Amino acid sequence: MLRYFLTRLAGAIPTLFIIVTIAFFLIRAAPGGPFDQEQTLPPEIMANLQSAYGLDQPIWAQYGRYLGALAHGDFGPSFKYKDFSVTELIGQGFPVTLEIGSIAMALALILGIPIGTFAALHHNSATDYATMSLAVVGIAIPTFVVLPFLGLLFGIYLHWLPVAGWEPGSIRHLVLPVAALALPPLSVIARLTRANMLEVLRSHFIRTAVAKGLPLHTVILRHAMRPALLPVASYLAPAVASIMTGSLVVESIAGLPGIGRYMVQGALNRDYTLVLGMVIIYSTLLILMGLAVDLLYAWLDPRVKLER
Amino acid sequence: MSGLLDDAVRRLRSNPGAMWAMFVVAGLVALALFGPWFNPNGSETLDWLHVASRPALQSAHWFGTDRLGRDLFARTLEGTRVSLAVGVVASAVSLAVGIGYGAVAGYVGGRTDHVMMRVIEILSGLPLIFFVIFLTVVFGRSEYLLFLAIGAVGWLTMARIVRGQTLSIRRREFIEAAVASGAGTARIIVKHVIPNVIGPVVVYATLTVPQIIMFESFLSFLGLGIQEPHASLGTLIAEGAGEMEAAPWILLVPGGFLAVLLLALNIFGDGLRDALDVKER
Amino acid sequence: MAPILSIDDLTVSFSQPDRSISAVRQVSLAVAARECVAVVGESGSGKTQIFMAAMGLLEGNATAQGSVRFEGSEILGAQAPQLNRIRGSKLTMVFQDPMTSLTPHLKIGIQLAEVLVCHTGRSWSEARIAARRMLERVRVPDPARRLNQYPHELSGGLRQRVTIGMSLLCEPLLVIADEPTTALDVTVQAQIIDLLRAMREEVGMALVLISHDLGVVAGLADRILVMYAGRIVESADSAELFRDPRHPYTGALLKCIPTLSGPSLARLPTLPGQPPQPEDSLDGCAFAPRCPRAAERCRTERPLLREAGNAGDRGSNGIESGSSAIENGGARRVACHFPLSP
C-alpha cells in the first residue's frame, strides 16, 4: 500500500510541474499586462514598476525566479493588493475555505449515504419519491440561486441566521454557506447510494446473509454497505471539484474571506500572481484527492490488485 | 431502429414527471419569445417614477422594477432568451466539436484513439470554472471567450459518446464497402460514420443544455460572462442578491425563472435518458 | 413423531404488471427429524420456490398462500425478527452458487463467526475457534489460513464446503440444500455429496436436497418427491422409486440417467417437448403433452396426488391425499390417471 502511495505521489509531481509551467507561460504570453487598467502612467514610473516586479527580465529568468520562489513557498506579490504577497493572502484565506469545504463534504457524506440507503430500503414508497425529488432539486438548481434564497428565507424573513459576513469562530455565519455548498454533492451521493444499494440488495450474498438470520442492520452495514459505496468513492473527486467551484460562489455572496473570493477577484482584476497561486493550490488539492480516492477504492474492494 | 424509438417515446409518455417538465420548458420558451408582445414595457426603458417598485398585477409593472426602474418582467424574459440562446448555440458548438473529436478517435482507433481519450480523461478531472477564470485573466473579458468556454462544457461527454457509437458501427458492412471502394478516411468519417451516430448523440446533446445554461449563468453571476446592460439570468440574480433586503423580488423573479427552467430541463432529461436506456429499472 | 417441517397446500405466485404466474401450486409435504428428502424436478418446476417461501426469502413481487410450520409454529409470512430466531440456527440453507453466495469483501472467518455471535451470543474470539473447528470437520485443509482469506481466494469446491459448514454451525434441525453441486465440477460434486452424507451422520440433522439430477440424490435421499410444473407428481421411498417408478415423468427421468451397463453406442433417451411455461393455464395433467401414455382424460381432468397401492389401483375417486400432511415415510403417492405398472 505504502509503495503504491509513494509511486502515485511521485507521478503526481510532474503533472503539477506541467500545470505550473503552462500556466506561467500562458499568462506571460497574454496580451496586455497587469497594469493596463490603471490610468496611463508615465513611462519612467512604468519602467520602475516593471523592474520592481521583475517584469523587465527575459521570460526564462522570470520563470526560474518564480520556481525558485515557489520552492520556498513564496508565490510572489499580488499585483492588485499592493500590500500583500500572494502567500499571505493564501495563508489568510485557505483555512476559511478549507473549513467550509470540509464541513460541506462531511455533511454531504454523513447525510447523503443514510438518506440513499433509507430510500433504497423503502423502495417505491412515498418517502422514496419524496427524497429523490428533493435530490433532483438539489442537483438542478445552482448554488448561486440556492444561497440567496436561503438567505432570504432564514435571514431576512425569519431572522434566524445572518445573511452574510464572517467572524472568526462564529458558527452562525457558516450555516447557510455550508448548507448551500453541501446540497449538490449531498443530492448526488444520495441518488448514487440509493441506486447502488438497490443493486447490491439483489445480490446472492445478501440473500445468504438474510438466510443466516442476521438482523437487518448487520446485513446492511457489514455486507451491503461496502460494495454499494464503491461508486460513491469514484464520485468523491468530482465532489471535491464541485465544492471548490461552489466555494467561489458561496464566498463571494456571503462575504467569506476565503481563497475562492480571491480567485474571483483575481480574475476580475487580472492579478496574475494571485490567479497563478490559486491555480497551483487548487490543482494540488485535486491531485491529492485523486490519490486519496484511489487508496480508498483499494480498501473498499479487496479484489482490486494494487500492482497493475 | 424506429422500433426502438417508438418504444422510447412510449416509455417517455408514461412518465408523468417528464411530460410535465417538457410542457413547463415549452411554456417558458414560449413566454420568453412571445412575452414581450404582451408587456408594454421595454427591458431597457428606465421608469424613474417607479424605481424598485413591488410586483403588482394592477400596476404597469407586473413583476416590479429594479434599482434603475427597469421593468423586471421584461428584463427577466430577456435574460431567459439570452440564457436559452447561449444554451442552444453552445450545445451546437460542443456537439460539433465533440462529434468531430469522437468520430475521429473511434474510427482511427489504436494509439491515436488512446492518446485522444487520455486527453479527455485529464480534462474531465479539472473544474472548468478555473480554466475560464484563468483564460479571463489572460485574455480579458470578452463575449467570444464566453462562448468558447461554454462550448467547452459539453464536448467532453459528447466526444466520449460519439466515440463509443463509432466503435460499435465501425465493423458494419457499409463501412467496409466504403473502404473497399477506395474512399479516404476523412470522407468515410464525414459521409458514413457521422450520419449514423447522430441519433442517440442528438439526444445526449439535449441533456447538456441545462448544464450549459447553468454554467453560463454562473459565469455571468460572477461577472465573468455577459456584461451590462445586456441581461442574462445570471447577471439579474447577481443584481438581486445585492438588493435582497430592500427589494427581494429583484432576486426572486429571475431566480425563480432560472430554478424552474433548470429543474424542468433536468427532469425532462432524466426522463429521456430513462426512456432510452433499455436496462433501466 | 411430529415432523420438523410441514408444508400444507402451499401456493406461490409472482405478480407481474400484466399477469400472475404460479410457480408452486398447492404443494404439501413433510420432513421428519433426521430424514433426508430429495425434491427433484426440472428448472421452473417450483422446487426452489417452495423453500424460499419457507425461509422468508421470496422476492418482493411474490405472494405465498398456505401453511408452513417449523417445529409446530407457523412461519409463512412471519416478520423478520421472528424468522431470524430460527433462520441460520435451527433452519439453514445452502445455496447453489458458491461463486456468488459469499460476501466478497469479508474474510471467511468473519462470515462464519458472525453466525455464532449472532445466534449463540458467543464472543468473537470463541466464535472464531468454533469456526476453525467447523472448517476441519468439513475437511477444509489448512483451516487457520483459510479463515483469513477472502472468498475469491478459494476454489468452488472449498467455498461450498465453507457454506455447508456455515449452515451447520448452530447444529440445525433442518438444512435445505438447493442444488449444492450443480455449479461444481463432476469430481468435486461427488466429494460434496460425500461430505453431506458424513455431516448427516455426525450432526444428525434432517436434510432437504433440491436437485434436477436424480443421479445426484440417489445415494443420499431416504425419500424422493418428484415435481413437475409446480406440483408434486410422485413421492416414494428412494429405493422404491428407482426400482419401480409409477409416474411416466419419473420413468422418463430415470431413463435419462447414463449408466455404466447397457449398449455403449445407444443414444441417451431424451424427453420430447418442453415443460409448460409457468403462466400457461393448465387443464388436465400438465405432463400430458409430453406423455407417451396420455389419453383424452389426461387432457381434461387433472389427476390428484393419491396413494398408489397395488398394480390394479386406478380409482378415480378419492380425495387428494397428503393435503393435511402428516406423511409417514413409506406412503407411496402418484398423480396420474394411468400410472406405470410395477
Which pLDDT value is given to residue A308?
A: 36
What is the SS3 assignment for C211? strand
Distance from CA of A10 to the nearest CA of C (A): 30
Instruction: Report, as an integer, the average pLDDT of C156-171.
Output: 93
Over 90: is that where the pLDDT of B39 sits? no
Q: Measure the CA angle with vertex A211, ends A206 and A214; round to 5°.
A: 80
pLDDT digits (tens, 9 = 90+) for A1-11: 677 677 777 77
- Nearest-by-Cβ selection for B223 from A32, A268, A290: A268
Test mutation, B15, B25, B118, B138, chain A, max A CBs within 10 A: B138
Test mutation, A212, A226, A297, A304, chain C, max C CBs within 10 A: A212
Stretch among A16-25, A156-165, B102-111, B157-166 having the lowest mean pLDDT: A16-25
The residue among A169 and B264 whose pLDDT is bigger is B264
Residue B248 bridge partners (DSSP) = none
CB B128, CB B153: distance < 8 Å = yes
pLDDT digits (tens, 9 = 90+) for C40-54: 988 878 899 999 999
- Say if B192 falls within a structural domain: yes
Query: Searching chain B, which residue's CA lies closest to the CA of residue A132?
Result: B267
CB C58, CB C12: distance < 8 Å = yes
Backbone CA torsion sign across B60, B65, B69, B70: negative
- Is A213–C118 a contact, with Cβ atoms under 8 angstroms apart? yes
Average pLDDT over all residues of chain A = 80
- Nearest-by-Cβ selection for C55 from A211, A218, A301: A211
Instruction: Report, as an integer, the average pLDDT of C66-70.
Output: 93
Give dist(CA B64, CA B59) in Å, integer. 9
> Dihedral through CA C118, CA C123, CA C127, CA C128, nearest 10?
130
Select from C114, C136, C116, C131 the least CA-distant residue to C199. Answer: C136
- Say if B94 falls within a structural domain: yes
pLDDT digits (tens, 9 = 90+) for A242-289: 898 899 889 888 888 888 888 887 777 777 777 777 777 887 888 788
To the nearest 10 degrees (0 to 180), the angle between helices A86-121 and A172-201 is: 40
Report the amino acid identity of residue A130: A
Query: Searching chain B, which residue's CA lies closest to the CA of residue A247?
Result: B129
pLDDT digits (tens, 9 = 90+) for A36-85: 555 565 677 666 666 666 666 666 777 777 777 766 666 666 666 666 77
- Is B245–A163 a contact, with Cβ atoms under 8 angstroms apart? yes
Instruction: Report, as an integer, the average pLDDT of B76-101.
Output: 84
- What residues of chain B, 229 to 248, have a C-beta less than 8 Å from chain A? 234, 237-238, 240-241, 244-245, 248
pLDDT class of B18 with cuts at 50, 70, 90: confident
Q: State ipTM.
A: 0.86
Neighbours of chain A (3+ CB pairs under 8 A): B, C
C152 touches chain A (CB under 8 A): yes
Which chain A positions have a beta carbon within 8 Å of B133's beta carbon?
Answer: 263-264, 266-267, 275
Over 80: is that where the pLDDT of B108 sits? no
Which pLDDT value is given to residue B2?
A: 54
- Is C119–A303 a contact, with Cβ atoms under 8 angstroms apart? no
Radius of gyration of the CA atoms of chain C, in A: 21
Give dist(CA C117, CA B182) in Å, integer. 73
Contacts 24+ apart (CB under 8 A), B54-61: B54/B247, B54/B249, B55/B249, B55/B253
- Say if B66 falls within a structural domain: no
pLDDT class of C151 with cuts at 50, 70, 90: very high
Which chain A positions have a beta carbon within 8 Å of B127's beta carbon?
Answer: 241-242, 244-245, 282, 286
C182 burial level (CB within 10 Å; 0-12, 13-18, 19+): middle
Q: Do chains B and C touch (3 or more CB pairs under 8 A)?
A: no
In 3-state terms, chain C is what percent helix, strand and coil (to 5)? 35, 20, 45
- Say if B270 falls within a structural domain: yes
Give dist(CA C65, CA C59) in Å, integer. 14
Report the amino acid identity of residue C30: A
Distance from CA of B44 to the nearest CA of A (A): 24
- Is A302–C104 a contact, with Cβ atoms under 8 angstroms apart? yes
Which pLDDT value is given to residue C265?
A: 54
pLDDT class of B113 with cuts at 50, 70, 90: confident
Which pLDDT value is given to residue B178?
A: 76
Distance from CA of A149 to the nearest CA of B (A): 8
Which pLDDT value is given to residue C324?
A: 35
The residue among C88 and B71 whose pLDDT is bigger is C88
Give dist(CA A207, CA A226) in Å, integer. 16
Unique residue bearing C-alpha cell 440456527: C89
By percentage, how much of chain A surpasses pLDDT 90?
28
Cell of C292: 407417451
Q: What is the CATH number of the domain that holds B87?
A: 1.10.3720.10
At a CB cut-off of 8 Å and minimum separation 6, what does C334 contact?
A: C233, C234, C246, C247, C305, C306, C308
Which pLDDT value is given to residue B277?
A: 63
Query: Searching chain A, which residue's CA lies closest to the CA of residue C59?
Result: A202
CB C337, CB C297: distance < 8 Å = yes
CB atoms within 10 A of CB B1: 6
Indicate the number of domains in chain B: 1
Which chain A positions have a beta carbon within 8 Å of B248's beta carbon?
Answer: 152, 156
- Nearest-by-Cβ selection for A205 from C80, C81, C104: C104
Give dist(CA C100, CA C134) in Å, integer. 21
Q: How far is CA C57 from CA B13, C7, C11, C50, C173, in A?
A: 35, 16, 15, 10, 19
- Nearest-by-Cβ selection for B263 from A140, A151, A282: A140
Q: Measure the CA angle with vertex A207, ends A205 and A212; round to 5°.
A: 95
Which pLDDT value is given to residue C134?
A: 93
C114 touches chain A (CB under 8 A): yes
Which pLDDT value is given to residue A40?
A: 60
Q: What φ, ψ does residue C141 adopt, rounded to 5°?
A: -70, 150
B227 touches chain A (CB under 8 A): no
Stretch among A292-296, C185-189, C221-225, C312-316 having the lowest mean pLDDT: C312-316
- Residue A83 carries which DSSP code? T
Burial C82-96 (b: 16+ CB within 10 A, else e): ebbebbbbbbbbbbb
- Say if B213 falls within a structural domain: yes
Q: How many CB pairs under 8 A join A and B?
A: 114
* Cα B272 to the center of its chain, rounded Å: 16
Give dist(CA B92, CA B201) in Å, integer. 11
At a CB cut-off of 8 Å and minimum separation 6, what does C153 contact?
A: none
pLDDT digits (tens, 9 = 90+) for C230-276: 889 899 999 888 888 888 888 888 877 766 655 555 566 666 677 77
The residue among C337 and B41 whose pLDDT is bigger is C337
pLDDT digits (tens, 9 = 90+) for C181-238: 888 888 888 899 999 999 998 888 999 999 988 888 888 899 999 998 888 989 999 9
Across the beta sheet with C174-178, the strand order is C91-94, C174-178, C206-211, C36-40, C223-228, C231-237, C333-334, C306-307
Test mutation, B24, B83, B122, B130, chain A, max A CBs within 10 A: B130
Largest CA distance in chain C: 67
- Is B133–A145 a contact, with Cβ atoms under 8 angstroms apart? no
- Say if B52 falls within a structural domain: no
Select from C297, B205, B225, B204 the least CA-distant residue to A264. Answer: B225
Cell of A118: 433509507
**Most confident listed range (A27-31, A188-192, B249-253, C312-316):** A188-192
Which chain A positions have a beta carbon within 8 Å of B252's beta carbon?
Answer: 149, 152
C118 touches chain A (CB under 8 A): yes
Q: Measure the CA angle with vertex C84, ends C78 and C88; round to 5°.
A: 125
B134 touches chain A (CB under 8 A): yes
Cell of C332: 407411496
Neighbours of chain B (3+ CB pairs under 8 A): A
Distance from CA of C95 to the nearest CA of A (A): 8
Give dist(CA A181, CA A168) in Å, integer. 19
Report the amino acid identity of residue C16: Q
Distance from CA of A216 to the nearest CA of B (A): 24
- Say if B135 falls within a structural domain: yes
Which chain A positions have a beta carbon within 8 Å of C86's beta carbon?
Answer: 213
CB atoms within 10 A of CB C158: 21
Q: Do chains C and A touch (3 or more CB pairs under 8 A)?
A: yes
Across the beta sheet with C5-15, the strand order is C20-31, C5-15, C62-70, C73-74
Which chain A positions have a beta carbon within 8 Å of C105's beta carbon?
Answer: 226-227, 300-303
- Is A208–C101 a contact, with Cβ atoms under 8 angstroms apart? yes
Query: Searching chain C, which residue's CA lies closest to the CA of residue A202?
Result: C59
What is the SS3 assignment for B99? helix
- Say if B61 falls within a structural domain: no
Query: Searching chain B, which residue's CA lies closest to the CA of residue A275?
Result: B134
Which pLDDT value is given to residue A79?
A: 62
Which chain A positions have a beta carbon within 8 Å of C166's beta carbon?
Answer: 212
Cell of B56: 403588482
- Is A26–B138 a contact, with Cβ atoms under 8 angstroms apart? yes
Test mutation, C59, C101, C164, chain A, max A CBs within 10 A: C101
What is the SS3 assignment for C274? coil
- Is B129–A275 a contact, with Cβ atoms under 8 angstroms apart? no
Question: What are the start-end ranges of the H helices in chain A?
Answer: 2-29, 43-52, 59-71, 86-121, 126-140, 143-150, 172-201, 204-211, 216-218, 225-254, 259-269, 272-300
Which chain B positions have a beta carbon within 8 Å of A244's beta carbon?
Answer: 127, 130
Unique residue bearing C-alpha cell 443544455: B209
pLDDT digits (tens, 9 = 90+) for A115-128: 999 999 998 888 89
Q: How far is CA C282 from CA C205, C297, C301, in A?
A: 38, 14, 10
By percentage, how much of chain B surpasses pLDDT 70?
81
- The whole domain housing B257 covers 2-32+74-276
CB atoms within 10 A of CB C186: 7
pLDDT class of C148 with cuts at 50, 70, 90: very high
Which pLDDT value is given to residue B30?
A: 86
What is the SS3 assignment for C52? helix
B205 touches chain A (CB under 8 A): no
CB atoms within 10 A of CB B33: 13
Give dist(CA A228, CA A75) in Å, integer. 43
pLDDT digits (tens, 9 = 90+) for B245-272: 788 888 888 899 999 999 998 888 888 7
Select from A172, A210, A193, A178 the least CA-distant residue to A115. Answer: A193
Which pLDDT value is given to residue B130?
A: 76
At a CB cut-off of 8 Å and minimum separation 6, what does C280 contact?
A: none
- Is A286–B222 a contact, with Cβ atoms under 8 angstroms apart? no
Which pLDDT value is given to residue B168?
A: 74
At a CB cut-off of 8 Å and minimum separation 6, what does C302 contact?
A: C282, C283, C284, C285, C286
Over 70: is that where the pLDDT of B180 sits? yes
Select from C195, C171, C168 the least CA-distant residue to C184. Answer: C195
Stretch among A128-137, B128-137, B205-214, C100-109 having the lowest mean pLDDT: B128-137
